[in-house]
Amino acid sequence: MTETLKGLKLNITGIVQGVGFRPFVYSLAVNNQLKGWVLNSSSGVEIEVNGLQTDLDAFVRQIREQTPPLARIDRMTVEEIEPNSFAEFTILSSQPRPGDFVPISPDVSICDDCTRELFDPANRRYRYPFINCTNCGPRFTIIQDIPYDRPLTTMADFQMCPDCEAEYRNPLDRRFHAQPTACPVCGPQVKFISGKGGDLAAEGALQEARQWLRNGKILAIKGLGGYHLACDAFNGDAVDELRRRKRRSDKPFALMAFDMATIHKHCHVSPREEELLLSHQHPVVILARRAGSAISPLTAPHQNTLGMMLPYTPLHLLLMEPEPGFPEVLVMTSGNLSEEPIAYEDEQAAQHLGEMADAFLIHNRPIHMRTDDSVARIALGNVYMIRRARGYAPDAIMLSSKVRPMLAAGSELKNTFTLARDNYAFMSHHIGDLENFETLQSFESGIRHYERLFKVVPEIIACDMHPNYLATRYAVQRAESENLPLIQVQHHHAHLASCLADNGWQPGDRQAIGIILDGTGMGTDGTIWGGEVLIGNYAGYTRRFHLEQMPLPGGDAAIRHPVRTCLAYLWKFGIEPAKELAPVSTMRASDLSILTQQLVNNINTIPTSSMGRLFDAVSSLIGVCQHASYEGQAAIDLENAIDPQENGFYAFPLVKDIVCLKPLFSEIIQELQMGVQKEKIAARFHNGIIRVLLAACQLIRSETGITDIALSGGVWQNMYLLTHAVQTLSGAGFNVMVHHQVPTNDGGISLGQLAVCEAQL
Ligand code: ZN
Ligand code: ZN
Ligand code: FE
């Protein structure tokens, strides 16, 4: 009996290009005795196959079940068609269709197969720092344009040798169509430059770099998305020197350890944290530091955490190979001056990093798109993103409904922008603080690059309400010159929408409570908001509660000086600034009287309800932090001061729509006079905040029946506050949403702007 031949046509969309999808389909087809073809179209992958019913069924099932590690199928349609008489199964060349787009893979950390080959003396890529394959290696950072083919990447100038070419053409090889594939014969090379002449290449360069690190020197190392500044993490002098040269006094440095065993030695690591460290994104993961670790405390001053990552390129693995006397953990901080974007072009690096680095370990594979290392942690058992960049961008965030092509420009600090079309939100990698020309440039060129890659022609532009944000100015100018509608979204409404979108919230009338605890954002009344309980959804919101306002002296300048904020609170509540108080004793009498004059005469002060500033003030009041060298430092130090055994709390009366703060300040001052430890005060402050938030939500629930709560804003990076608040609110029967895919800080704002913009049209 002969079974009849059947035909199928498959259309697959998702991350299916540059991830070994066609060879995967090829081998499945061949194994199931199917004939036909597969090709990359500009919207995904198309397949036509002929074969017996049972074989076709197995083929379709295996595509779903055995998807290659880096691929993600968003949609797959299977259609029965008349069989054609194919003689074999073939991979056809690409078929671009105008207007369509294909998701682009982020950079992927080195895979196990390549790691094995890297350290295998018999392999022809033994110790080759640029080994990669279809399952790993550079992607987004080397792509200049689409389609993703070698000539349109920064690998274009490297002509493949016959051996590499043969692998590249063989559908059954792991390097079939691996665009960045290379070997020591034909690919990029490393070089060591010390300024003393006698530059070294290849293995000599690596060994020399290791020697310099061993000797406590600071190296600029060209990596995947930019330059790192590296030094021995155990050498306090080296770390201190790096801080001085980088002009970064306190902000923690990222660290890199050769393997998991080393990280376990220095940090407490949960299974979820280990999984995140080992994920193909290889982010920096914030971990609890072990008490006995010999890593220099200067890597993360005043912190009980360390930001750790594993080597994600072959170059990093070779650089960090364990050897007696070689530091098993290196500082690997982005190669830039504090607050400037990471250096990624060789000339720029030589210019900017020349004074910071003792020597350079570079290579000749150009970086097209700079990306910083991503930073994440595990909170409440889930990934909690802090900086979304390498490994994650430009993966799209899936939206719960279709949107028009648009651009959301994002915020001023920790900027990301988002371009969207269909169900996809292409959120950019972390751009940085839009405070200088370099960052603004990378913002503008980033937008152009994403528009080209994903074929988004914005029909609407969304931005913040703050007129002086550079992102807002860009949006306003562009909307004007292209005659596009512009929607300005209130900062904290954007935070609420961002958390909703992050959690797949459907557009519609349903409302949620948004507890938005933030630094600062322009309010609709011209004051600065930031401690807000909103009720709303994508389309709109009401401001149900907010922190009692205080006059922020010098506006944003106060952010650097928690002491000023604290004194402004005391002045506002008519509390005599007694000499014994920490903020008073650290300030010169003359400065104090200038500040008082400023407050009395209302000169250059702006009312704010910011929760971030309240944290600053309390941090200053109890003597934890008077001046912040980076954003959020006072609040972070305050969190680190908490005595976790303390269950007491301060009262925050709710009067109409205001969370009153005077009793807090009087009580803390009283307790300070009684000699209560600052650790207990820090805990009582946090506990009190959580209580008043619960009370506010219960009131809203009784008024409206709303039980969904979204937590967003930079203050929610405080783990004590986050975990205890979620516990308390869930315990009281609320459904609490927190961020997962995008940061709770301003790095998530552009996603919220986008969701609001679509809903308001
Ligand atoms: Zn690989
Ligand atoms: Zn080669
Ligand atoms: Fe914010």
List alpha helices for 503-585, DSSP H: 562-572, 582-585
* Domains and their CATH numbers in the chain: 6-91 (3.30.70.100), 190-363 (3.90.870.30), 396-503+744-760 (3.30.420.360), 517-537+542-737 (3.30.420.40)
Ligand 1 centroid to Cα of residue 127, in Å, is 14
- Residue of 212, 327, 332, 331 lying closest to 262 (CA atoms): 327
In contact, 363 and 150? CB cutoff 8 Å:
no
Distance CA 757, CA 761 (A): 6
In single-letter form, the type of residue at position 202 comes to A
In single-letter form, the type of residue at position 575 comes to I
Ligand 2 centroid to Cα of residue 161, in Å, is 4
Q: The tokens of 48 are what?
A: 């036509």
Q: Which residues contact 721 (CB under 8 A, 6 or more apart)?
A: 517, 639, 686, 689, 690, 715
- Residue of 218, 287, 225, 279 lying closest to 252 (CA atoms): 287
Ligand 3 centroid to Cα of residue 406, in Å, is 21
CA distances from 78 to 21, 53, 459 (A): 17, 13, 33
Express each pLDDT in 432-446 by its tens digit.
999 888 899 999 999
pLDDT of residue 166: 98
**Nearest ligand, measured from the Cα of 712:** 3
Ligand 1 centroid to Cα of residue 495, in Å, is 38
Ligand 3 centroid to Cα of residue 508, in Å, is 24
**Nearest ligand, measured from the Cα of 745:** 3
Ligand 1 centroid to Cα of residue 88, in Å, is 29
- Does residue 715 carry a pLDDT above 80? yes
**Nearest ligand, measured from the Cα of 112:** 1
Ligand 2 centroid to Cα of residue 410, in Å, is 42
Ligand 3 centroid to Cα of residue 712, in Å, is 8
Ligand 3 centroid to Cα of residue 519, in Å, is 6
**Beta strands 219-222 and 382-387, pairing class:** unpaired
- Does residue 534 carry a pLDDT above 50? yes
Phi, psi of 165 (to 5 degrees): -60, -45
Express each pLDDT in 182-212 by its tens digit.
999 999 999 999 877 677 889 999 999 999 9
**Nearest ligand, measured from the Cα of 134:** 1
Concatenating the DSSP letter of every residue in 563-632 gives HHHHHHHHHHTT----TTSHHHHTS-HHHHHHHHHHHHTT-SEEEE--HHHHHHHHHHHTTS-SS-SSTT
Q: How confident is the model at residue 142 (pLDDT cuts 50, 70, 90)?
A: very high
**Nearest ligand, measured from the Cα of 632:** 3
Q: The tokens of 696 are what?
A: 């506010």
Ligand 3 centroid to Cα of residue 412, in Å, is 9
**Nearest ligand, measured from the Cα of 185:** 2
- Does residue 94 carry a pLDDT above 80? no
Q: How confident is the model at residue 748 (pLDDT cuts 50, 70, 90)?
A: very high
Distance CA 28, CA 13 (A): 18
Q: Which residues contact 97 (CB under 8 A, 6 or more apart)?
A: 41, 42, 43
**Nearest ligand, measured from the Cα of 494:** 3
Residue whose structure tokens are 């968003």: 74
**Beta strands 541-547 and 658-659, pairing class:** parallel
pLDDT of residue 2: 61
**Nearest ligand, measured from the Cα of 160:** 2
Ligand 2 centroid to Cα of residue 39, in Å, is 25
**Beta strands 284-289 and 267-268, pairing class:** antiparallel
In single-letter form, the type of residue at position 576 comes to E
In contact, 624 and 634? CB cutoff 8 Å:
yes
Distance CA 595, CA 576 (A): 14
Ligand 2 centroid to Cα of residue 206, in Å, is 20
Ligand 1 centroid to Cα of residue 351, in Å, is 33
- Residue of 377, 423, 416, 376 lying closest to 399 (CA atoms): 423
Q: How confident is the model at residue 40 (pLDDT cuts 50, 70, 90)?
A: confident
**Nearest ligand, measured from the Cα of 159:** 2
Mean pLDDT of 591-605: 93
Ligand 1 centroid to Cα of residue 467, in Å, is 47
Q: What's the alpha-carbon Rg for the chain, to the nearest Å? A: 28
**Nearest ligand, measured from the Cα of 115:** 1
In contact, 250 and 300? CB cutoff 8 Å:
no
**Beta strands 359-363 and 382-387, pairing class:** unpaired
What predicted TM-score, i.e. pTM, was given to this entire model?
A: 0.94
In three-state secondary structure terms, 115 is helix
Ligand 2 centroid to Cα of residue 449, in Å, is 30
pLDDT of residue 100: 74
Mean pLDDT of 501-524: 97
Q: Residue 464: exposed, middle, or buried by beta-carbon count in 10 A (0-12, 13-18, 19+)?
A: buried
Ligand 1 centroid to Cα of residue 236, in Å, is 36
Ligand 3 centroid to Cα of residue 430, in Å, is 15
Q: The tokens of 587 are what?
A: 């300030």
- Does residue 97 carry a pLDDT above 90? no
Sign of the torsion formed by the C-alpha atoms of 184, 185, 190 and 196: positive
Ligand 2 centroid to Cα of residue 165, in Å, is 7
**Nearest ligand, measured from the Cα of 164:** 2
Ligand 2 centroid to Cα of residue 155, in Å, is 12
**Nearest ligand, measured from the Cα of 131:** 1
pLDDT of residue 556: 66
- Does residue 170 carry a pLDDT above 70? yes
Number of H helices, E strands in the chain: 22, 30
What region does 197 belong to: left with phi over 0, alpha with psi -120 to 50, or beta? left
pLDDT of residue 345: 74
Name the percent of the chain lying above pLDDT 70. 98
In single-letter form, the type of residue at position 129 comes to P
Concatenating the DSSP letter of every residue in 412-465 gives STTB--EEEEEEEEEEPPP-B-TTSHHHHHHHHHHHHHHHHHTT---SEEEEES
Q: Residue 279: exposed, middle, or buried by beta-carbon count in 10 A (0-12, 13-18, 19+)?
A: middle
Ligand 1 centroid to Cα of residue 517, in Å, is 42
In contact, 45 and 17? CB cutoff 8 Å:
yes
Q: What is the DSSP letter of 343?
A: P
Ligand 2 centroid to Cα of residue 657, in Å, is 68
Max alpha carbon distance in the chain (Å)? 102
Q: How confident is the model at residue 526 (pLDDT cuts 50, 70, 90)?
A: very high
**Nearest ligand, measured from the Cα of 412:** 3
The kind and range of the H/E element at 46 are strand 44-51
**Nearest ligand, measured from the Cα of 166:** 2
Q: Residue 287: exposed, middle, or buried by beta-carbon count in 10 A (0-12, 13-18, 19+)?
A: buried
pLDDT of residue 337: 66
Phi, psi of 77 (to 5 degrees): -110, 140
**Nearest ligand, measured from the Cα of 155:** 2
pLDDT of residue 130: 98
Ligand 3 centroid to Cα of residue 631, in Å, is 12
Beta bridge partners of 659: 547, 654
Ligand 3 centroid to Cα of residue 644, in Å, is 27
**Nearest ligand, measured from the Cα of 162:** 2
Express each pLDDT in 233-271 by its tens digit.
999 999 999 999 998 889 999 999 999 999 999 999 999
Mean pLDDT of all residues belonging to the chain: 94
Ligand 2 centroid to Cα of residue 158, in Å, is 9
Q: How confident is the model at residue 1 (pLDDT cuts 50, 70, 90)?
A: very low
Ligand 3 centroid to Cα of residue 721, in Å, is 17
Beta bridge partners of 356: none
In three-state secondary structure terms, 82 is coil
Total number of residues shown for the chain: 761
Q: What is the DSSP letter of 199?
A: -
Ligand 2 centroid to Cα of residue 164, in Å, is 4
Distance CA 749, CA 713 (A): 9
pLDDT of residue 575: 95
**Nearest ligand, measured from the Cα of 532:** 3
**Nearest ligand, measured from the Cα of 128:** 2
pLDDT of residue 342: 67
pLDDT of residue 95: 67
Ligand 1 centroid to Cα of residue 173, in Å, is 12
Mean pLDDT of 364-378: 95
Q: How confident is the model at residue 338 (pLDDT cuts 50, 70, 90)?
A: low
Ligand 3 centroid to Cα of residue 556, in Å, is 13
